[in-house]
Chains A and B, each alone.
Chain A
Amino acid sequence: MNPLPEHPDFLWRNPEPRSSYDVIIIGAGGHGLATAYYLASKHGITNVAVLEKGWLAGGNMARNTTIIRSNYLWDESAAIYEHALKLWEGLPEELGYDFLFSQRGVLNLAHTLQDVREGVRRVNANRLNGVDAEWVEPSEIAEICPIINLSPKTRYPVLGGTFQPRAGIAKHDHVAWALARRADELGVDLIQNCEVTGFVKDGNRVVGVETNRGRILAGRVGLAAAGHSSVLAEKAGFRLPVQSHPLQALVSELNEQVHPTVVMSNHVHVYVSQAHKGELVMGAGVDSYNGYGQRGSFHVIEHQMAAAVELFPIFARAHVLRTWGGIVDVTPDASPIIGTTPVENLFVNCGWGTGGFKATPSAGWAFAHTIATGEPHPLNAPFSLDRFTTGALIDEHGAAAVAH
């Protein structure tokens, strides 16, 4: 018998928490790791800890469908998601880690006259914002993705679609590991199994956190806790206008490569891509009810499978391998909140709802800027918490190329 192979190199240290840091980030998901990476690499702030109650990138970072695109309708959204896409294009080289970023394009199908009008409008808005987008007719869709059922006799025939060629997918766990490795090299402490149970405050100023591994002091604290953001905000003494919902997805067993792009359908409501290994990755909308259980109701899975088989008859004999759920924090306008909070020196990045993975680099980039300087960058200034008071909402419900 051959001896066991050597253990591969560890990608990051597993340090004990120190008694204080310049900055503490709560949540070692994609956004928290990207924030720590940019704090260290761009702002020279390396005395940073990222606290994670479970294991690194084990929340929504391990539960998404890895779709990356920037074809959002409104100027503010297009700016921040396109910034993310540009960062994605450079990150594999910058981080020295091939996380299989594949710009295979994203196709958003239109099935009704309203879908067509919305799609054409969004393509025009995207182009004005420098986002690559085109309107494609069914004959062109047949060339981009031959396995879609383009028959006019289906219940909701495909009338056309929008296509963003630079969009695509990436291998989510490798993205997290790439960011974690480089942040660690730059001096950031990534501390797993460290749950924040409270905040240490001096008047209205946060000066540290209580954890299951003791009190840790900090100059500034950033929340990047996705579905648990409002639970943490309550401990810190302020409220967030978010609701936490289960969001489910599933994969099939491995199949031959048959699906060359990413297809999203708002109307019959499913999105499908095929991972590098060959599993079909599918998702759809959130479960209607609030939930922190990391699971949802099976009829939601049934509904998205029905939509997938309607669109892709070739999938009818594929088998589901696994389904799972994450907890997504949804805001009233389906746009994120990145900025200051009513508590001094406490900052928040939350409310990404169903679309946080694609924004990982720019969420971290903008949040790092906000924490380092105390002020939002122009990219995230519109995504402030006070927009719910001023009324300056960025309403991406139904405008963002997919129903949230």
Chain B
Amino acid sequence: MLLISCPWCGPRDETEFRYGGQAHVAYPETPAELDDQQWAEYVFYRENPKGPFAERWMHAIGCRRWFNVLRDTVSYEVLAVYRNGEEVPR
């Protein structure tokens, strides 16, 4: 089981969280101008790296706030935890 440090509540078991997939996927700035291929990219296509991955988690049975985690998808090690609006830690 993963041990994830909520930026507000501290380290908690994975079972307290819900997964939200890739982080930093912004809603299109000019949605009316997108063609079908661009919509497909926004709706269906996500990064799927083998290695560090910036992803969203939500502390579902804690503070219920969304935040971001940089996690290695091979070792599953949590490399960094950071709040929405912050840059991906290097």
* Chain A residues in the interface with B (C-beta under 8 A): 228, 230-231, 239-244, 288-293, 297-299, 332, 388-391
Does the CB pair A243–B21 fall under 8 Å? yes
List A contacts of B40 (CB < 8 A). Answer: 241, 388-389
Report the Cα distance A291→B73, complex, angstroms.
5
User: CA–CA, A74 to B74, complex, Å?
Assistant: 35
Instruction: Please give the number of chain B residues whose Cβ is less than 8 angstroms from any Cβ of chain A in the complex.
Output: 26
Shortest C-beta distance, A58 to chain B (Å), equals: 17
Give Cα distance in the complex from A293 to B75, angstroms: 6
What residue of chain A has the Cβ atom nearest to residue B50's Cβ? A292
* Bound CA–CA A26/B19 (angstroms): 31
Docked-complex contact B44 and A241, CB < 8 angstroms: yes
Establish whether residues B74 and A292, one from each chain, have CB atoms under 8 Å apart when the complex forms: yes
Number of A-B contacts (CB under 8 A): 61
A261 to B18, CA, bound (A): 34
- List 16 interface pairs A-B (beta carbons < 8 Å), by A numbering: A228-B50, A241-B45, A241-B46, A243-B48, A288-B18, A289-B71, A290-B48, A290-B53, A290-B55, A293-B73, A293-B75, A297-B2, A299-B13, A299-B15, A332-B44, A389-B39
Task: Report the separation of the CA atoms of residues A123 and B15 in the bound assembly, to the nearest whole angstrom.
Answer: 36
Residue of A228, A243, A288, A390 contacting most chain B CB atoms (<10 Å): A288
Q: Which A-chain residue is minimally distant from B20 (CB atoms)?
A: A288
Do A289 and B75 form a contact, CB below 8 Å, given A228-B50, A231-B50, A389-B40? no
Nearest CB on A from B81, distance (A)? 14
Measured CB to CB, the closest approach of chain A to B71, in angstroms, equals 7
Contact B73 A242 (CB under 8 A): no
Q: Is the CB of A293 within 8 A of B74?
A: yes
Separation of A332 and B50 alpha carbons in the complex (Å): 19
Within 8 A of A (CB), among B9-67: 13-15, 18-19, 21, 36-37, 39-40, 43-46, 48-50, 53, 55
Task: Assess whether A389 is in contact with B15, with CB atoms less than 8 Å apart.
Answer: no
CB distance from A348 to the nearest CB of B (A): 14
Q: Are B14 and A297 in contact (CB under 8 A)?
A: yes
Known: A292-B73, A297-B2, A389-B37. 16 other contacts (CB 8 A): A231-B49, A241-B44, A241-B46, A243-B21, A244-B73, A289-B55, A289-B73, A290-B21, A290-B73, A291-B76, A293-B75, A293-B76, A299-B13, A299-B15, A332-B44, A389-B36
